[in-house]
């Protein structure tokens, strides 16, 4: 018998080729009048920013184009100051997860008068996700994702990196979900193959970890299963044929499906390790996720019994196959993508593994593993990926 709560769901989702042109209508529905665009240098230096500016027309108030990967704290503070100077009442975040998380940080700073600390989740120190509730913000947020899969645009979470402490500041609040998201595959075609692959593997990880989550339920399984099916074929296709709009659209849809599934059932060890190595090494989540999924499947898939058939089906295996079949299928998918295949390739040394494992055990995602897992189990998983 299932029990639980379905509480997190996308708000407005506008999708399809050319849907960026719906930005003025979406702003009008919100009552917003001045749009401050937030993006990184690659978006600002290519054709995407001009398309967004053209869509906004007289609603465009300016751009902050200095968001780097991993959303460093200082860049969020600078973006908030820039939008305040523009007198913007709507943040339009254009890019991948780092940029969308920056938009969430800007909205949070506007709501709190510049305070971050009371709203940070510190599960390791507090033993729970206790944090102050975010107040209403005077700034709306519309997300325009341009990659294959952060799903930050439909989720109440954000990660902002503190480079000095070498860790991610994690946030979770319903008010962080953008008021609207625009899924335009015509913008996604400009994402480079490696970026497409890395962000897409994050979506794959959300789908797979939802399928073996301790808190899975029929709605999360349905969304995650079809998301994984779509990504298994559409993600390699998006890398191999970047201008395939159907493949790009499938990745975008699969991303928000996996995001909605995972936020309502939760993910576990792969994401928990991703938080740790992302903070320590500045490593993009999709890279660590891609490397870690196969050993995680070997460890965790036996714990879900007959429901492992869903994971096997999603990965193109026979439903009566084994966890090893699933792991090998995941490794085969990773080999089709221009991503590192092992942790050793991205600077993780064997001597680092005990510390990573110990820190992982303090991550709040570990409450969702489908079986008891120790630090030794996590270290063994890491060694299997080294």
pLDDT in tens, 352-380: 999 999 999 998 899 999 999 999 999 99
Q: Given a cut of 70, is residue 249 above it in pLDDT?
A: yes
pLDDT of residue 280: 86
Angle in degrees, 0-180, between the axes of helices 269-281 and 375-385, rounded to the nearest 10: 70
**pTM for the whole structure:** 0.93
Say how far apart CA 17 and CA 243 lie, in whole Å.
12
Question: Mean of the pLDDT values across residues 247-260?
Answer: 97
Q: What is the pLDDT at residue 33?
A: 98
Q: Where are the domains of the chain?
A: 12-187, 192-385
Q: Is the pLDDT of residue 112 over 60?
A: yes
| Structural fold of domain 192-385 | Dehydroquinate synthase-like, alpha domain (1.20.1090)
Q: What is the secondary structure of 136-205 as a DSSP string?
A: P-SSEEEEEE-SS---GGG-SEEEEEETTTTEEEEEE-GGGS-SEEEE-HHHHTTS-HHHHHHHHHHHHH
Q: Is the pLDDT of residue 28 over 70?
A: yes
Q: What 3-state class would DSSP assign to 110?
A: helix
Count CB neighbours of 110 within 10 A. Answer: 21
pLDDT of residue 149: 81
User: How many angstroms separate the CA atoms of 240 and 126, rounded?
Assistant: 45
Say what the pLDDT of residue 275 is: 87
Return the CATH number of 12-187, one of 3.40.470.10, 3.40.50.1980, 3.40.50.1970, 3.40.50.300: 3.40.50.1970
Q: What pLDDT digit, counting tens, does each position of 55-68 carry?
A: 999 999 999 999 99
- Degrees to nearest 5, angle at CA 48 with 43 and 54: 130
Question: How does pLDDT run across 303-326, given as a tens digit for each residue?
Answer: 999 999 999 999 999 999 999 999
At residue 343 the predicted structure's pLDDT band, cuts being 50, 70 and 90, is very high
Task: Look at residue 126 in the predicted model and tell me its pLDDT.
Answer: 54
What residues contact residue 88 under an 8 Å CB cut-off, 6+ apart? 34, 35, 36, 61, 62, 139
pLDDT score at 124: 56
């Amino acid at each position: 018998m299932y029990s639980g709560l379905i509480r997190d769901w996308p708000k407005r989702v506008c999708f399809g080729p050319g849907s960026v042109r719906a930005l003025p209508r979406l702003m009008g529905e919100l009552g917003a009048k001045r749009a401050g665009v937030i993006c990184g240098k690659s978006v600002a230096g290519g054709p995407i920013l001009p398309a967004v500016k053209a869509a906004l027309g007289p609603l465009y108030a300016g751009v902050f184009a200095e968001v780097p990967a991993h959303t460093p704290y200082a860049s969020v503070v600078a973006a908030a100051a820039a939008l305040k100077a523009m007198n913007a009442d709507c943040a339009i975040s254009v890019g991948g997860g780092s940029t969308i998380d920056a938009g969430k940080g800007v909205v949070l700073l506007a709501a709190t008068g510049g305070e971050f600390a009371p709203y940070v989740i510190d599960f390791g120190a507090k033993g729970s996700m206790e944090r102050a509730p975010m107040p209403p913000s005077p700034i709306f947020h519309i997300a325009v994702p341009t990659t294959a899969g952060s799903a930050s645009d439909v989720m109440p979470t954000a990660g902002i990196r503190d480079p000095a402490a070498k860790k991610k500041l994690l946030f979770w609040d319903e008010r962080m979900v953008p008021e609207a998201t625009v899924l335009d595959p015509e913008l996604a075609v400009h994402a480079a193959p490696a970026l497409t692959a890395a962000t897409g593997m994050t979506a794959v990880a959300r789908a797979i970890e939802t399928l073996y989550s301790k808190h899975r339920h029929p709605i999360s399984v349905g969304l995650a299963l079809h998301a994984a099916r779509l990504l298994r074929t559409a993600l390699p296709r998006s890398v191999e044929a970047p201008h395939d709009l159907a493949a790009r659209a499938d990745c975008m849809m699969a991303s928000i499906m996996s995001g909605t599934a995972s936020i309502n059932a939760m993910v576990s060890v792969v994401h928990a390790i991703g938080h740790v190595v992302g903070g320590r090494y500045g490593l993009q989540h999709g890279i660590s996720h891609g490397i870690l999924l196969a050993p995680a499947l070997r460890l965790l898939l036996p714990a879900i019994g007959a429901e492992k058939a869903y994971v096997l089906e999603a990965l193109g295996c026979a439903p009566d196959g084994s966890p090893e079949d699933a792991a090998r299928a995941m490794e085969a998918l990773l080999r089709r993508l221009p991503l590192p295949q092992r942790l050793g390739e991205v600077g993780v040394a064997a001597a680092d593994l005990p510390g990573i494992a110990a820190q992982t055990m303090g991550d709040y995602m570990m409450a969702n593993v489908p079986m008891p897992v120790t630090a030794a189990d996590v270290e063994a998983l890491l060694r299997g990926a080294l």
